[in-house]
Structure 1
């Protein structure tokens, strides 16, 4: 996680949305979503496919308008006014197959107001910086799928945006390129760029994000710091004792369960010290005791429900 986590309250907002709603043919795809994204943050929108992630991003960017509610982006009520300062990698990837790689990057920059000549220069430079200089003059059709995705990613950044929006950016990338993308995101945030991305993969959000919005069924039951989401669940205690029974058993919470050689239970609200004292005085013979904080997956289940968690796990890696 980047170092500015938890500092969102002290930073101006790059994105603010209040009560945004979008309906399609009577179906409510997004239902009263509130979001606040601090400048310089890495912000994740986490949910299964079909939860409303893409529709939410498109409303924030002004690609479609909300039926209800308001959104403000980089200080503007009309997103198109600041489109030249935004980079957007859509869910549906697409490049002209006959274009050379550096020209494709320049073309994407031109769509955001960057002069073509400068875009071509930066395109070659970016490809070189990311180990793809040898592919600069190759046509898109001559590149592997992963390389073409990297070209489109660089085209999203060529005009030096203040805000970058990625829709399912990790889909289709191998582990090596996923790692490269994560490092790129951290680098962008460290330079002051705001990064917002949607994903159905909890691991990416947990590693990267300052804050997340959990979305399910078009609603956002939680939006805020990752640590706050994880704190919705009490830490779990893992205890191994030499004695199998004795007066110390009375000190274990009601949810204690025996799993193999270990007792597993939620950390009591009174903390670990009274528990330790009771175990020692009761001659439990403590062999090991560890306290494990809940992960984001457990928090997602607690916040969004088991059905949403199953849908998240079943979401295909390739987003159509």
Structure 2
């Protein structure tokens, strides 16, 4: 069942979009455009194709909150975080639109990834107004992170407490938030800042935070793995390919038996890197290695992408 696993990730977010679309006269062509764009993004790692599909469609983010949300979602995954913030800030609101609270979560997250001082405002709006169950734990987790990277450890603990009692844990994001809350472990401030900046596409800022810091993490197994993994991701994105290969390989070899996602995703990213370089044999080996690693978190999504990679290399 290669394909069913492959679809899972993209489809979960699609369901949210389509449920909203059906209630709010979103016409079918729009749904098809959205579906195509998101599947290209999630399954085939074709972010620019997804972005161009949306840009060349008739969807209007200025007049349609759902369109703004989908544009922003793709923008945030294709190194267009500043544009996502602009889209969400200009997004229409008011009584003529169905309330679509996820956009506030997305805006808060995008601002948090830029380490903006006011990222908490949109996140607070989300957790206070959202009536659903899915995504709430993630919302409280992001508020906890906001306080933590701004030096407020009590705020971190308070919001992590809410993660335990609010919302459901159906999706992988909510489950990850709950795991973090239940672990009682405090994250590393520098690694968390670097992760947020990385997710926002601010690679130089992230690189500057982490370069030459390996010694700080040598003593703690999990943090050492996270450090090599994160620096691998950053150098890969910056085109420092040899450095990235070395860091990914270290992560895979060092963490394959661990419960965390770092080694599994490092193998996946190594596959994508070799596929970009048209080295099919090494790419295939890396994707197979990814499938052989079974972490306790995010496994289904990473394995789906590795299977999609193997399908492309047939």
TM-score of the pair, normalised by structure 1: 0.30
Higher relative contact order (CA 8 A, sep 6+): 1
Higher strand share: 1
Higher helix share: 2
